[in-house]
Amino acid sequence: MKDNYDLVVIGGGPGGYEAAIRAGQLGMSVACIEKRVYKGEPALGGTCLNVGCIPSKALLDSSHRFESAKHELGDHGISTGEVTIDVAKMLERKEGIVKQLTGGVAMLLKGNGVDWLQGWGTLLDGKGSEKKVKFTALEDESETTITAKYVILAAGSVPIDIPVAKLDGEHIVDSTGALDFAEVPKRLGVIGAGVIGLELGSVWRRLGSEVVVYEALPEFLAAADKEIAKEAGKLLKKQGLDIRLNTKVTNAEVKDGQVAVTSDKDGSLSEESFDKLIVCVGRRAYSEKLLAEDCGIKLTERGLVEVDEQCKTNLDGVYAIGDLVRGPMLAHKAMEEGMMAVERIHGEKPQVNYDTIINVIYTHPEIAWVGLTEEAAKDQGYEVKTGSFSLAANGRALAQGEGQGLIKVVADAKTDRLLGMHAISVGAGDVVHQGMIAMEFVSSIEDLQLMTFAHPTISEAVHEAALSADGRAIHAIQRKKRK
Ligand code: FAD
Ligand code: NAD
């Protein structure tokens, strides 16, 4: 470890490690400080690789295969005998993937000349041209002051806890606990019908839990396009997720090994009992131990580090990225911001396009979108035209037994410019990348109509949705609007 670097990155999650790698590529001397210990070992990769995106997707895949083997293979004439789940083996597979990826990040840092400092980083002083960062080693708690020309704060986020449902680590858990249940809970309660509630609720439901999801808001998936949210609500309900909207949990306590949950819907209270309860009501920026009191950094009222569009803080040469700052809490957003900050330090001028950040909810089918919803486009004053296409009329989807959901495009009726793409379909997360690329190139609906999409693919539904915006979808009867 040196005591002077060009750049010190605090936090080794997707935002921080990507920034550190890019800086290494550009020839800077870089330290990445990360304090995480995962299952007894210091670990890079942040929330995303250790307890977020990757382990949740590993469990979503295992549970999907289980459900498919149990309920779908028969349709193909395949018989399997009794299908059972070995939860320990499933978790072992998940851990293997996490280890492979976090180990890979450690190798990438090393290969790019980045020093991984295992411990806590605290910005002591960011005001002058020489920044001061305190490093407290995990190993022996020794403290060293490091100086750097630039600092990137990438400390991420942690789950929000609510006083009515205090975590006990066994029965009442957050998303991290819900990735490690040793057995399938018979009855599972979930507080929050957001991304985590739907993904992890789906995992355990597929494996056999009866799942009740409490959501305080009256509207389901308020951030999604209404048509997609409605379809999602319908499909998830059909799968067996019992989603209770407009219902607040007022108390949750452990009694005789069960969690007793009291909830309030329109003033009427009810009590139910669960083996486990997951609290997933959002995440908050994590800045404990990150900032010395007089380091000079400004925070917002919500405790985020205040930054501009280029992730610059109020202090020259100090940047902040990812979950620690405004915008959606998504790994790909953190990564792009990390890259932008480093390249700006290097004198280049990249800019993250916040209008084309994709959202994906990895249920089955997946729910994904990019750009404006129909409602948001109208609110912004656009004269809107939309087109949508049902997967029930897509040959590939039917051949795969996936004929559920729809793909929708939202456009400016005056200019024909694509403003958003929304999908609930098998592979929706990949499908909407077409919308992202089209929007980056300021494409029109006509551009999507004029391209040749391969047959049979799910992407054909993008083509048909674009055609449908002008009343000319081929595999749907459209008599109203024609061009
Ligand atoms: P983090 O990944 O949180 O990393 C920050 C790191 O900084 C942490 O490892 C922390 O230990 C370290 N740190 C904090 N303070 C200090 C300090 N003072 N000194 C040293 N180190 C410090 N996003 C997606 O895009 N797709 C998904 O599918 C997805 N799934 C998710 C599933 C779950 C269950 C959860 C919880 C999250 C999921 N997310 C997903 C969100 C995603 O994980 C985050 O948006 C992303 O990890 C943010 O990256 P980051 O680098 O800003 O912060
Ligand atoms: P979220 O914001 O997606 O959902 C939280 C939900 O809880 C909201 O619908 C909210 O109305 C509800 N809620 C809040 N307080 C409540 C209460 N007291 N009672 C009942 N309902 C309540 O948050 P999350 O699901 O915890 O996820 C956290 C973050 O992690 C998200 O911002 C998301 O971006 C990220 N994440 C992303 C992915 C992905 O990209 N696939 C997956 C998981 C997590």
252-281 average pLDDT score? 97
The share of the chain scoring above pLDDT 90, in percent, equals 98
What pLDDT was estimated at residue 212?
Answer: 98
What pLDDT was estimated at residue 90?
Answer: 98
pLDDT digits (tens, 9 = 90+) for 359-378: 999 999 999 999 999 999 99
Q: Report the atom number in ligand 1 closest to the C-alpha of 47.
A: 2
Give the closest residue (by CA) to ligand 1 atom 16: 155
Whether the predicted pLDDT of 482 surpasses 80: no
Q: Which residue has the tokens 């066994």?
A: 170
Give the Cβ contact number of residue 65 at 10 Å: 14
d(CA 147, CA 272): 55
Measured in Å, residue 304 CA sits from the centre of ligand 1 at 14
Please tell me the number of the ligand nearest to residue 156's CA: 1
DSSP, collapsed to helix, strand or coil, labels residue 2 as coil
Catalytic entry in 64, 171, 455, 475: 455
Q: Cβ distance 261 to 252 under 8 Å?
A: yes
64 is catalytic: no
Which helix H or strand E contains 103, and what residues bound it?
A: helix 87-111
119-144 average pLDDT score? 97
86-92 average pLDDT score? 98
Please tell me the number of the ligand nearest to residue 367's CA: 2
Measured in Å, residue 286 CA sits from the centre of ligand 1 at 10
Confidence of residue 481 (pLDDT cuts 50, 70, 90): low
Closest C-alpha among 263, 272, 218, 223 to residue 245 = 218
d(CA 306, CA 320): 8
What pLDDT was estimated at residue 230?
Answer: 98
Give the closest residue (by CA) to ligand 2 atom 32: 329
Ligand 2 pocket: which of 198, 265, 283, 370 to mutate (most atoms <8 Å of CB)? 283
Q: Cβ distance 16 to 322 under 8 Å?
A: yes
Ligand 1 pocket residue status of 284, Cβ below 6 Å: no
d(CA 199, CA 46): 19
Please tell me the number of the ligand nearest to residue 179's CA: 1
pLDDT digits (tens, 9 = 90+) for 462-479: 999 999 999 999 999 987
What pLDDT was estimated at residue 483?
Answer: 64
